[in-house]
Structures are given as structure tokens and as C-alpha cells.
Amino acid sequence: MKRFQTLPQLLLLIVLPVLFLSSERKKEEKGWIQLFNGKDLSDWTIKITGSEAGVNYKNTFKVENGLLKVRYNEYEKFDGEFGHLFYKDHYSHYKLRVEYRFVGEQVAEGPGWAFRNSGIMIHGQSVESMEKDQKFPTSIEVQLLGGNGTDERSTMNLCTPGTNVVMDGKLETRHCINSNSKTYHGDPWVQVEVEVRGDSIVKHFVNGEQVMQYSQPQLDERDPTYQKLLPASGCKLLQGGSISLQAESHPVDFRKVELLNLGDDCQ
């Protein structure tokens, strides 16, 4: 004969799981580390097209008032000087949370597609392996975009310099794919997060809402860097790699760059 739970027992069945989940979330939140210290660019290496690693061409990257800034004040015009700021360690399983905003005007002769355009590069090649004139690291680009005040333009899109992914069970070879996020016009701060599970699942979030998911990030056999970056094992799946922030000709601010290591990192 089935027994009915008393009211106190039912309440315990409801409350205990909630308390457990709340405790787990708090424990997880304590594990976040700040990759950007709010003071300087220690632990980061600059790489700008046409310059050697470590050269901050025309002070493109700077820290002011607690913000990590991409600026073009010293440029007369943009001539393909795409920049990336590489964190010192490589990771495989993690959550990365960033707060960004676009500001000001794009530098003269910056490409039209780079208007209010930046990105977070994950599973990237090392800064040491980049060629002097290489524009973008072979990586998975979590693309950050801002609106023009009128048209729809999602953020946290996917771009794939030298790579491919699997989406909805099919190998996806398009270079850029839009997320399901809304458009952010003007200069608001936007909080974004990417959850990376090695060579399996990658998820994109905007202000806590998931806007994209894909799997099996991998090297693209068609790309010139393929043979150079293919490991001795011959496995083209990307299990981990560098993390970098982009400078693509439009001023952008970052005020938080933090990471939660989920284990199995590849430092």
C-alpha cells in the first residue's frame, strides 16, 4: 500500500535539493580567478600583425582607470594591424566570463565588417607559433559585436579562423555563424560567458542566457596552418589552447576577464 508523505517530509524533499544546488553554485563561484588584474597587462602578451610578439604597436592596448582598453589614438589610419592579447596560460575545460563595451569611433580605413567588432579567441594556437604578418591566430572566435543604432546584429557569434566545428550533427565550414542573441546598440556594458568542455561541447551565453552551442572544435584541413599545428598524434580535434582578446580597429573596453577552471586544463 502506498504511503503518503507528511507535509514536513514533503517540504524537506523540496527544500533540501534547492539548498544543495545553492551550496554547489556558491562553491563554484568561489573558484573564479581574475585574468585581468585591473592594473596592468602582466600575464598577457601582445601580438599585432606586422610586429613581433610583445610589441604594443602605437599603444593599441592599455590599462586606464581599471579598464583594459583597445585604442587607436596614435593611428592616422588602419592598415591591417589586427591585434590579439594572449593570456599566459592555456586551458581546456573552463568557463570564461567577460564584460565589454564598444566606445567612440572606428579608426580611419578600418574595414566595414570590423565596425563595433571584437572577439574572444579560444582553443587558439600559442602566441609564439604565430607568424609576424599573421592576421588572426588559428582558433575558435567567440565574436563580440555592437549594433549601429538601427539594424539587428547579434553578439557572441561564432567565427572559425583556420578551424571548423560540428553543429546540429553536421560539420560546419561557414566562417561565421550568428547566435540567437539580441542586438546591443550604443555603449552598454554586456556580460558574456563561454563554457568550454575540451573537444566536446562549447556554449555561448549573453547576460546569463544561452545563445549558441556547438561541438568538436577542430583544425581545418584547408587552412595553411593545418600541417604546422597538427599534433604528432594526427588528431585534429582541439582539446584546448590559448585565450586572447581582439583588437580589430574599433575602440573597445573590457572591465572583467575571469575564468573558472573546470579541470583537465592543458597548461
pLDDT classification of 263: cutoffs 50, 70, 90: confident
Q: What is the pLDDT of residue 14?
A: 52
Contact 246, 122 (CB under 8 A): no
Asked whether the predicted pLDDT for residue 218 surpasses 70, the reply is yes
5-19, 107-121, 146-160: least confident range: 5-19
Q: For 82-138, what is each residue's pLDDT tens digit?
A: 999 999 999 999 999 999 999 999 999 999 999 999 999 999 999 999 999 999 999
Of residues 18 and 193, more confidence is placed in 193
Q: Is the pLDDT of residue 7 over 80?
A: no
Residue 70 lies in a domain: yes
Per-residue three-class SS string for 1-33: CCCCCCHHHHHHHHHHHHHHHHHHHHHHHCCEE
Q: Are 192 and 144 in contact, with CB atoms under 8 Å apart? A: yes
Identify whether 19 is part of a domain. Answer: no
- The model's pLDDT over 21-43, given as tens digits with 9 standing for 90+, comes to 444 444 456 799 999 999 999 99
And the C-alpha cell for 220?
Answer: 581545418
| Assigned domain for 110 exists | yes
* 23, part of any domain: no
- pLDDT at residue 23, as a whole number: 47
Give pLDDT, residue 4: 46
| Nearest residue to 141 via CA among 169, 108, 174 | 174
Q: What is the CATH number of the domain that holds 63?
A: 2.60.120.560
Average pLDDT over residues 215-228: 97
Q: Domain for residue 8, yes or no?
A: no
In a domain, 21, yes or no: no
Amino acid 214: pLDDT: 98
74 within some domain: yes
Number of domains in the chain: 1
- Per-residue pLDDT averaged across 66-88, rounded? 98
pLDDT attached to residue 251: 98
pLDDT, average across residues 237-257: 98
Question: Which residues span the domain enclosing 230?
Answer: 34-261
155 inside domain:
yes
Name which of 34, 99, 39, 35 is nearest 63 in CA terms: 39
